[in-house]
Structure 1
């Protein structure tokens, strides 16, 4: 990942520059350049000025008055972000022509035509003060060229290939431009997104280097000669085969570092109203002489248009709409104050070294540190890169781009995390492959997610427990050899296990032909009682299908039957065993009773027996009370029920009759009314009742006959006693 980013950084596609620009823009918004009065002012021809003085363009006499007022106030330089390229339509000669063309004209207006031309008046005003005219540079070839007052000198080879080149210009009229002290271009082009991040100080036209308005204003303000340009080979910074580029510009005592193409990285201030003076206040005499001198004496004054329809709007990192004249003014401020943003030549090298070094550090350290400490290391690297870049910007004016080193840290850490995740998934898969034949899929997933759960301990939960056992398994074992017996058990227990797992059971263990399963652990199952009842019924339905499908199969021992005991209640479930070996299992009286119920299915000759608590939680299922019995190893008696069928069975007349007659029989039996009990037994044997209770009826017929011969004692409570587990 670090290598891919390094290759991308080496080729410097446009996206790299765009990312850098966005970062540096955010820095400027977070910390604009603190405003400091650098003796730079802007005279703004704003909306109020237009309202007071009339529609633009004004007569050049107004511009001449403005120029003389600023000159009289002691301005060090007056730079116009206005190009006087067309003759004044209001000049006397032109006005006389318009008057003569009027049908109502009286005379030839020769006196008016003889008055001084307004462009000449402005030119004279320009000559009386330290003025700088503006001109546009265009890519369309023409013969217009700006007036050169002082020129540009180069230390080294002229860096023409590095500068923006133009083929034409739109300049001030000669009568105006030749009288001014200097001329500078006002053309400013933004980056791909239109944002002005660097102000051009130099451009070229026909192989001639020309200065910007801000640079020329600084020269005129100091009364300096030519602008000095230091090129890369004139400063010893040119490498073999490189194009000669600009390193710095100097005018008078002021010097500014530049980009290779002669631009000044801009560090903009927030909006400062004190920098701007509306033009109407000067032209209408709103400012006293003392106030004029306070505002303009010794200052560089930029004259621009901020009125609606006239304004030259540009986008900067901190303002979406900014006056172009403000960019010129702020460029002059930065050069005067000596506060620069620079992106040194070694910046790219530092960024690439950081990218590689941090990528290697994270790549080599993070795997051994683990996810948390590796993440903290990556976070430290990320914060360090960003904080270092911000510190360099904030305290040294250095533009060091943190994005790619930061991306290196993040991408390498993500790659390591992805590899670790892949390895962990492989480890989980190994756990699945090793244990999913022994444990339920839910339990395997839980252990795979958190191997720490393989610790001793448990919790008490309300659970439903199932015991199932194959009837006559000893005879089956005698019939088959060991391999045939294992094959039979696999063919039997596999579909039974499918039924249990489909009903969200956790398989605790297989004990030969017996199965122990439970519900509501390790995952919560709010319907665990119903799921257990359905599982027991579906196990018997599956067994009936297996018997039918394997009829005549020598590997299947005829008609196989199973007994199922179900019980619900509190159990302690968790990792049981020793520190050397443990098993996820459960213990408790609920489990013991479920085991006894499974054994009692042989006694009562019913497929499924339920405990009293579970039967009470299954009111919708077809359950019938069979007895109250005290099982071996347990003092408390338990009311037991047979599960005869699913909920839809309960609405059938046969089941309704069976339940009513069974209740009547039990009531008569426990009330020692043997005749009524025998009558109920006879009714239960009728064809209109549900089959499957023949073994239970035989038990009660025997008990009643015995009690007729030997009546029970007076304290007899109707509770039976199981004689074996």
Structure 2
């Protein structure tokens, strides 16, 4: 009956799934197939029954309570929990069937039968096949499956989407995010951002009256000037049409000419004066810096002036001026920056109505200034510090104003800043646009006014936003860096694109993205991914080299490494067609009895090398070479469309070498006793590695091997026996003669066999 069923199943497997007879697809027929798969004596019949089931059952669209029947689903589940090829076939069928009954049977085995590991393994395979698991699977098992899935992918590195590379990119980004949050590398971070700042044309509303070297040469030390001189300057500027006059030095002491200066201020009505801060800044207020004290102008000047503003400047860690406090607090009293007060006055607004920071914005003159938590604004410099031949803002000498030689167009309807630019004075600072040359404090005030007036604000994203950018970059680099060279090119391209994007965003919107940590994240992600890939490849290469050590050529070993790395080859065990070459040494036992063990070992090594060389010459894989027998396979581990031809060629090469060797040896040479017999058989077998850890070996099991083992005893010395499939596949080039079909043990039908003869074997046949 099993013989008949085997033939029926063989016919069914040749039919397309869509044209199967209706009787075959009934529940009763499917249950009969399950009976055969679980209880048939012949393993080929069990295999074919499962293959027919897989052929008949399409992939279910969703999980269903019962797939075939409760008993059938249960038996398939129990079969899946066993070991071996048929268990893997059953798992694949359950993944397509999506039966909740079968999954429940596996869960019962997990809880009751003490087979937790096997149950979890089967559930993981079903999950991979079906893409999901049914509701009965508890969260604890789902969590374990997810953890196992992640672990597998962290230990592997496929060419496409790789969880391990994504995790590495994420880790690199998290490391950089922590460093960003903790303020590491603040100096290079700020300096690299400075490259985004390019000069722009100022609006022309600011003119600087400078107390320069010529003015000091004319009037002496500026702090010893009579204040009547400043009164005269105010009068000259008012006459020229200056709309706002702002001094960058404070009149703190009392002098004889204070009344004259106060009258000039009062008459002008548009003079803004500074106050100086004392001590360090305290960052204990929101939207404002606090100072312990300050130096104000004389009370009569405060009363006569149009407003009062601070000129506090804070350095970054590298000594550069990038930020300007908008508000400060002294003894509970708040003061705006001098530039802001001057601009309020220029626009006709009151200078006493202080703005308050709301949602990171400070409103002034209809403009929303972005500020940080301390109320500091990032200065958008219009250009570099002034030079003798050129300057970003118009600059005229204090002396020239008093002399009346300054063109009225430079002063009329302008904000006029009066400050010191003399060489020996200390009011000079390095800025992002300094190029090594310091910028005077009055120029910094001019840049602040210009930035607010033209609404060229620098917006610095918050730390959380910057961290998100780092995470995206880290994940992106981890995703695309699949190979070292192409990965480097792609990582560099990502960095270049990010730099161009940052430059465009800054020019278009004033958003200043960080450059340092993104570049560092890209570099670290690439380095870590490359190091990881190298470690994985070394481990994978070592495993495969150990697996095939001495069994294949170096080129085949390398190709196998590449195929496994690209996911094109699975060495864990799969059934496939291949050709088996079995070579048996005759005369070995007699030789071993009459010779020294050392001579026996030398003889074995000599003939084994010849056999291995012949197999490797045709790119075969040596499976075993022990005592007097060697087995090799073709079409594994790498596919070879002409595997039967290669196997026969290897046998004929050995056949020829042995004949030549015997001709060359003396008639009484001890090796004349040694003869070889060959079998080449083509069929299906399971290939993969077997063993534990480093002791794993590449193994072939199945019908093709079993038949070759049975035929080798029937081969005569020097004879090559071919199985029926091998003969058919090589009939065009190999001259073989049919022999009488052989009756072999454990086989119902006689086995057709063919022979490639030699002179030795023909003599024996006669």
TM-score, normalisation: structure 2: 0.48
Instruction: Supply the distance in 1 between the matched residues of 2:214 and 2:556 (Cα, whole angstroms).
Output: 80
* 1:247 aligns to 2:361 (yes or no): yes
| Equivalent residue runs for 1:324-363 within 5 Å | 324-343=441-460, 347-363=462-478
* Superimposed CA distance per residue, residues 342-393 of structure 1 (whole angstroms, 9 cap, x where no aligned partner): 225xx54443334334444554x447x6556655654554344333222211
Alignment deviations for residues 251-297 of structure 1 (CA, whole Å, 9 cap, x no partner): 4x555333332222211122352624242552562615xx1x21111
In the alignment, is residue 123 of structure 1 matched against residue 123 of structure 2?
Answer: no
- Residues 298-340 of structure 1: per-residue CA shift (max 9 Å, x gap): 1111111111221411121111411111111111111112221
Question: Once the 2 structures are TM-superposed, how far is the Cα of residue 186 of structure 1 from its aligned partner?
Answer: 1.3
For the Cα contact (< 8 Å) 1:44–1:276, is it kept in 2?
A: no
Task: Output the CA distance in 2 between the equivalents of 1:488 and 1:373.
Answer: 54
In 2, are the aligned partners of 1:436 and 1:444 still within 8 Å (CA)? no
Matched, 1:273 2:384: no
The answer to whether structure 1 residue 295 and structure 2 residue 410 are counterparts is yes
2:250 is aligned to 83
Distance 2:203 2:287 in 1: 33
> Residue in 2 aligned with 1:569?
none
Distance 2:560 2:420 in 1: 72
Paired with 2:342 and 2:595, the residues of 1 have a C-alpha distance of 105
2:239 paired residue number: 72
**Alpha-carbon distance between aligned partners in 2 of 1:488 and 1:83, rounded to the nearest angstrom:** 109
Q: Secondary structure at the match of 1:162?
A: coil
Aligned-residue offset at 1:208: 1.3
Root-mean-square deviation over aligned CA pairs: 4.9
2:207 counterpart SS class: strand
Cα distance in 2 for residues equivalent to 1:482 and 1:328: 108
Determine which structure has more spread, i.e. the larger CA radius of gyration: 1
Go from structure 1 to structure 2 and tell me whether the alpha carbon gap of 1:67 and 1:254 turns closer, same or farther (over 3 Å shift).
Answer: farther
Show the 5 A alignment for 1:306-705: 306-319=421-434, 320=436, 321-343=438-460, 347-363=462-478, 365-366=479-480, 378-430=491-543, 432-433=545-546, 480-481=592-593, 485=597, 489=601, 510-511=609-610
Contact 1:134–1:185 (8 Å) recurs in 2: yes
1:21 is the counterpart of 2:190: yes
Q: Which secondary structure does the structure 1 equivalent of 2:381 belong to?
A: coil
Structure 2 CA distance for aligned equivalents of residues 337 and 307 of structure 1: 29
- The aligned residue for residue 278 of structure 2 is 138
Query: Relative to 1, partners in 2 of residues 1:172 and 1:229: Cα closer, same or farther, differing over 3 Å?
Result: closer
User: Equivalent residue for 2:652?
Assistant: none
Partner of 2:170: 2
* 8 Å Cα contact 1:2/1:356 also seen in 2: yes
CA contact (8 A) 2:189 2:517 kept: no
Of the structure 1 ranges 322-331 and 408-417, higher mean CA displacement relative to structure 2 is found in 408-417
Q: Distance in 1 between matches of 2:603 and 2:377?
A: 85
Q: Is the 8 A contact 2:246 2:273 kept in 1?
A: yes
Distance change in 2, residues 1:513/1:416 (3 Å): closer
Relative distance call for 1:356 and 1:343 in structure 2 (3 A) is same
Partner of residue 181 from structure 1, selected from 306, 318, 321? 306
From 184, 192, 207, the counterpart of 2:332: 207
SS of residue in 2 equivalent to 1:57: helix
State the partner residue of 2:320. Answer: 195
CA distance in 2, matches of 1:273, 1:174: 35
Alpha carbons of structure 1 residues 374 and 247: separation in structure 2 relative to 1, 3 Å: same
In structure 2, runs of 5+ residues without a counterpart are 1-168, 385-389, 565-586, 614-639, 648-659, 667-766
Write the distance in 2 (CA, Å) between the matches of 1:513 and 1:350: 63
Q: State the 1:47 CA deviation.
A: 1.8
Distance in 2 between the 1:134 and 1:41 partners?
17
Could you tell me which runs of 5 or more consecutive residues in structure 1 were left unpaired when the two chains were aligned.
89-116, 142-158, 238-245, 453-474, 497-508, 515-576, 584-595, 603-725
User: Helix, strand or coil for the counterpart of 1:193?
Assistant: coil
Partner Cα separation in structure 1 for residue 612 and residue 416 of structure 2? 103
Is the alpha carbon distance of 1:601 and 1:131 closer, same or farther for their aligned partners in structure 2, counting shifts above 3 Å? farther
Q: Is the 8 A contact 2:544 2:561 kept in 1?
A: no
What displacement does 1:4 show? 5.6
Distance 1:513 1:76 in 2: 100
* Cα distance change of structure 1 residues 482 and 22 upon mapping to structure 2, 3 Å threshold: farther
How far off is 1:174 after superposition?
Answer: 2.9
**What is the CA deviation profile of residues 452-496 of structure 1, one whole-angstrom value per residue up to 9, with x for unaligned ones?**
9xxxxxxxxxxxxxxxxxxxxxx9998755996567656999xx9
Decide which of 196, 210, 213 is 1:44's aligned counterpart. 210
Asked if the contact 2:279–2:291 (Cα under 8 Å) also holds between the matched residues in 1, the reply is yes
Report the TM-score, using the length of structure 1 for normalisation.
0.51
- Once the two structures are superposed, what CA deviation does each residue of 1:393-430 show, in whole Å capped at 9, x if it has no partner? 11111123354455444433433322221122123324
Partner of 1:15, secondary structure, is coil
When residues 266 and 510 of structure 1 are mapped into structure 2, their CA distance, relative to the original with a 3 A threshold, is: same
Distance, in Å, in 1 between the alignment partners of 2:467 and 2:218 is 58
- Once residues 411 and 395 of structure 1 are traced to their aligned partners in structure 2, the CA distance between those partners, rounded to angstroms, is 30
CA contact (8 A) 1:228 1:250 kept: no
User: Are 2:343 and 1:218 aligned?
Assistant: yes
- Report the alpha carbon displacement of residue 70 of structure 1 after superposing the two structures with TM: 1.4
Greater fraction of residues in helix = 2
